[in-house]
Structure 1
Amino acid sequence: MSGSALFVACSALPEGDGDEHAVPDALADLGFKTRWAAWDDTTVDFGAADIVVLRATWDYAERRDEFLSWTEAVPTLANAAQVVRWNTDKSYLAELGDAGVAVVPTTLIAPDDQAPRWPKAEFVLKPAVGAGSRGTGRFTDGDAAAAHLAGLQADGHTVLLQPYQSSVDSEGETALVFFGGVYSHAFSKAAMLGRELDESGLYVTEKLAPVQPTAAFRALAEDALDATAALLGILRAELLYARVDLVAGPDGRPSLLELELVEPSLGFRQTDPAAAWRFASAVRQQLA
């Protein structure tokens, strides 16, 4: 089998952040030609590619309606438009929690809701639609939190309120990566709150490192993918990629912080070189 793969980014980062540097060669070994394009480049015929892979579309949050309309016009998109619509609104965490997945406790605050009673312990506010940790704040002071919330609500955001997971300070997050529904590798991410945006202004620079997740982390990641597939009415294998971000709770047990199915960095530089081959095989599987 041979074909063409179109990797999609944004105009500020037309070829992503370099994480996928080894993937085009792995795809070429299987007969695929790979090129990059910005999702909003009107000169590109996205329908001509055998598979269109979302990678670094990190400006979608400010133009989500336009972005979703574009995804629905691309028949060979991976992951599919249905997945993108669901996953670009972090309210999905409440759905996964209702489905029995151990998620970080999450309260949704609608744009017209009053400020809630603030937790006594440290907590985080973040927009339900957002990427790269933009708009996320960590608070202990109710007045500062109320001002941050008001600013997000004024921009029309539903806001997530979550207790701050102190384990992130010492252990960071653990990101487990799946290709075609099958576990590939994992890496750790240091705490990002309070760090600077990169020069594109689209994401917070992360400190990443390879990691071997425990059995409990692996099991929760598998549970999260199973629940997602059930909610969306798809097979796990239909997800070209998934990144499951977990943290250790106060009792040491893992909780789901985010499930990234649209445009996450996949940690190719933090794992073995064969990961690019595993990704290439998953691309081939999608076309089969």
Structure 2
Amino acid sequence: MTNHHLTTRGEPRVALVTCTELADLDPDDRLVLTPLAARGVRVEPVVWDDPAVDWAGYDLAVLRSPWDYMSRRDEFVAWAARVPRLVNPADVVRWNTDKRYLDELSAAGVPTVPTGWVVPGEPWQPPADRGEYVIKPAVSAGSQDTGRYDLADPLHRELALAHVHRLGAAGRVTMVQPYLTAVDTAGETALLFLAGPEGLAFSHAIRKGPLLTGPDEGVEGLYKPEEITARTAESAELEVAEKTLAAVPGGSGRLLYARVDLIPGPDGTPVLVELELTEPSLFIGYADGAPDRLADAVLTHLARA
């Protein structure tokens, strides 16, 4: 059995929190191991629901790829509350793992994709405007249980109803959003922010190509493959990102990382589709110096701890 109770005097010990399926970490996350070792940090991948782990034995626990919690969110949130020196913090985890946080950000003035919610047991009819819509659960990741529906197509309307009913029958809240067609051309921009001495600082950006081609037909594995390329962030995107981070409950200064996902809206201006504060891919392999910046962000939080 792995001994999770060992500590080395004078050597900070950091857990990179993952899941059983990625016990050796996602390949992108492994890029930070060498920079952390060069900074004198002992780092270990640790599975979040391993009962043998003594979390108090770590100087810092960094959420990275616990991508199997979606069907056990309550368990995951309760676990996070028990882990000392967890980043991002447990209250952020609770808030950010249910996408109804989008309503709070919209109320705070963040330009956000319009979103409707369907709670289990509530009747729902597809919107009458017959455009394209995205349907997915409020607790989700990696496009799991997510579908794109053209409501001008009678079959798609039936499939959309079935999708909402299926999620509701499983006790899951459904979110319904208009499909932003700009994702098919401009793509989605993810802006990555990492902790520095004065709080979160912009690190790099990437472009994600479109993923959804039609109704949900079930997903095998943890995530779908994505088309990722480096991207230069535009000033309008950075402005929306800064406004989003300013609205995070408790302030963004406590965060080790943040990912702000934006798509051009109907008028071409960027709108928020997701704010990822719990377990986002950070795409550090797509920007020069990003692995070192993530390692420095970990050091920043070790100093605070």
Given the two structures, how large is their TM-score scaled by the length of structure 2?
A: 0.89
Name the counterpart of 1:161: 176
Cα offset, 1:117, TM superposition: 4.3
Larger Rg: 2
1:68-105 superposed Cα distances (whole Å, 9 cap, x missing partner): 11111101111011000000000000110011100011
1:224 lines up with 2:241 in the alignment: no
Name the counterpart of 2:250: 233
Among 268, 275, 292, the residue aligned to 1:259: 275
Name the counterpart of 1:42: 51
Query: Which AA in structure 1 matches 2:146?
Result: T
RMSD of the alignment, in Å? 1.7
Query: Which AA in structure 2 matches 1:96?
Result: L
Name the counterpart of 1:270: 286
Aligned length: 282
* Stretch moving more, 209-218 or 15-24: 15-24
1:34-54 superposed Cα distances (whole Å, 9 cap, x missing partner): 110110111121211111011
Alignment of 1:99-248 (within 5 A): 99-118=108-127, 119-140=129-150, 141-180=156-195, 181-194=200-213, 201-228=221-248, 232-234=249-251, 236-248=252-264
Name the counterpart of 2:30: 21
Given that 1:12 and 1:200 are in contact with CA atoms closer than 8 Å, whether structure 2 keeps it comes out as no
Query: Which AA in structure 2 matches 1:261?
Result: L
1:184-222 superposed Cα distances (whole Å, 9 cap, x missing partner): 00001111124999x971111111100001100011011
Cα offset, 1:21, TM superposition: 2.4
Among 281, 298, 304, the residue aligned to 1:283: 298
1:71 lines up with 2:80 in the alignment: yes
Q: Distance in 1 between matches of 2:302 and 2:254?
A: 10
1:109-145 superposed Cα distances (whole Å, 9 cap, x missing partner): 1112211341421011110011111011100232221
Instruction: Determine what percentage of the aligned residue pairs are the same residue.
Output: 44
Given that 2:285 and 2:291 are in contact with CA atoms closer than 8 Å, whether structure 1 keeps it comes out as no
1:10-36 superposed Cα distances (whole Å, 9 cap, x missing partner): 011112220022211111222111110
Query: Which AA in structure 2 matches 1:287?
Result: L
Given that 2:126 and 2:161 are in contact with CA atoms closer than 8 Å, whether structure 1 keeps it comes out as no
Given that 1:176 and 1:243 are in contact with CA atoms closer than 8 Å, whether structure 2 keeps it comes out as yes
SS at match of 1:12: helix
SS at match of 2:46: strand
Given that 1:2 and 1:31 are in contact with CA atoms closer than 8 Å, whether structure 2 keeps it comes out as yes
1:57 lines up with 2:66 in the alignment: yes
1:154-177 superposed Cα distances (whole Å, 9 cap, x missing partner): 111111110001011112110000
SS at match of 1:113: coil
Query: Which AA in structure 2 matches 1:7?
Result: L
Query: Which AA in structure 2 matches 1:99?
Result: A
Alignment of 1:77-92 (within 5 A): 77-92=86-101
Q: Distance in 2 between matches of 1:203 and 1:111?
A: 25
Cα offset, 1:108, TM superposition: 1.3
Q: Distance in 2 between matches of 1:164 and 1:16?
A: 32
Given that 2:258 and 2:275 are in contact with CA atoms closer than 8 Å, whether structure 1 keeps it comes out as yes
Query: Which AA in structure 2 matches 1:208?
Result: I
> In 2 relative to 1, CA 129–210 (structure 1 residues): closer, same or farther, beyond 3 Å?
same
Q: Which runs of 4+ in 1 moved over 6 A?
A: none
Query: Which AA in structure 1 matches 2:265?
Result: G
Q: Distance in 2 between matches of 1:194 and 1:250?
A: 20
Gaps of 5+ in 2: 1-9, 151-155
